[in-house]
Structure 1
Amino acid sequence: MEISVRPGGPDDVQAVLALLDGATEWLVAQGRTDQWGTDPHSTSPRRIAQISGFAATDGSLWIAEYDGRPVGALAVGDAHPPVPAAEEPEVYVRLLVTDRRSTGQGIGGVLLDHARDLAQRAGVQVVRVDCFGGNDGALIRYYESQGFTRDVAFSVQRENAPDWPGQVLVQRL
């Protein structure tokens, strides 16, 4: 499977939302509703605005394609609270999502390699990412398998729902 990565833009917003919806459906089917809930991202004004913002910012959104079809998305940018600010220049992964129908094809690794390449081209020595830190820690272990190490845990307080546990991971290049 030959995966290519290209810059994303406004025409990719619906494809990224579809990838997020597919990932949520996959999580729900596994009984893992704590991470993103059960509602489609494509119907969330907040999520639509977020992805549209990534798409409108040059160098922020990247699309992984296989045979001309989007199979993953990466967004890089600044970390936002409650994630602690970086103490040195970094590339921060704000979004990483892959097509669950293509699981096991290394799409996430290709996109993380792209983030590392962006860092190296910018002369930056650090790549950070945050992820859901709950359930059995599977997502944390995925990033560890990609060469990241745990940095700081954090929590997002939510109204009428349990706090959302997060984990920041870091990779020095």
Structure 2
Amino acid sequence: MSETRGRLTVRRGTVRDADTMLALFDDAVRWLTERGHTGQWGTAPFSAIPQRVQQVRGWGAAGALRVAERDEAAGLGLAKVRVDCWAGGGGALVQYYVRAGFTPVETVQVEAWTGRVLEVRV
């Protein structure tokens, strides 16, 4: 995962984006697992879990998938983009987003899971 600078474009994802999204989830699971942080999504790649594959493909089919690309999101009328992520494991994932230009704005607690909401102005 590398730091990206520039404008951010968010587009509606489709089923055609599902394999790319699954690969990104697989990379994230691998990255977190290598660092001993399994509290976000466990240790199994998303692409190896039929329910996860179906979920991501369903998001694409329903138009509920969003793909963020650095470019010109303001043209879509967006003032900011928000993401949420796991805040455990020493905050390494939060710091990844901070290095990418996001600012933490809120902490979220869902049962035993602690997350951070971050945003970037576009």
| TM-score relative to the length of structure 1 | 0.53
Name the CA distance, whole Å, in 2 between partners of 1:143 and 1:22.
Answer: 15
Unaligned runs of 5+ in 2: 1-8
Name the CA distance, whole Å, in 1 between partners of 2:81 and 2:90.
Answer: 24
- Describe how 1:2-17 pairs up with structure 2 within 5 A: 8-17=13-22
Q: Does residue 39 in structure 1 map to residue 44 in structure 2?
A: yes
One-letter code aligned to 2:108: F
Q: Deviations over 1:38-57 (max 9, x none)?
A: 12212151x22431133224
Q: How far does residue 132 in structure 1 lie from its aligned partner after superposition?
A: 1.0
Tell me the residue number matched to 2:26: 21
- Structure 1 residues 121 and 57, CA, compared in 2 at 3 Å: closer, same or farther? farther
- Structure 1 residues 23 and 149, CA, compared in 2 at 3 Å: closer, same or farther? closer
Unaligned runs of 5+ in 1: 63-73, 75-110, 158-162
Taking every aligned residue pair, what percent have the same amino acid on both sides? 38
Q: How far does residue 123 in structure 1 lie from its aligned partner after superposition?
A: 1.9
Tell me the residue number matched to 1:86: none
Q: Deviations over 1:33-86 (max 9, x none)?
A: 1221112212151x2243113322458443xxxxxxxxxxx4xxxxxxxxxxxx
More helix by share: 2
Name the CA distance, whole Å, in 1 between partners of 2:59 and 2:94.
Answer: 24
Name the CA distance, whole Å, in 2 between partners of 1:144 and 1:15.
Answer: 23
Task: List structure 1 segments (4+ residues) > 4 angstroms apart after TM superposition.
Answer: 5-8
| TM-score relative to the length of structure 2 | 0.71
Q: Does residue 166 in structure 1 map to residue 102 in structure 2?
A: no
Tell me the residue number matched to 1:71: none
Tell me the residue number matched to 1:142: 96
- Structure 1 residues 153 and 52, CA, compared in 2 at 3 Å: closer, same or farther? same
One-letter code aligned to 2:58: G
Residue correspondences, number:
112
Root-mean-square deviation (CA, aligned residues, Å) is: 2.7
Bigger RCO of structures 1 and 2 (CA < 8 A, at least 6 apart): 2
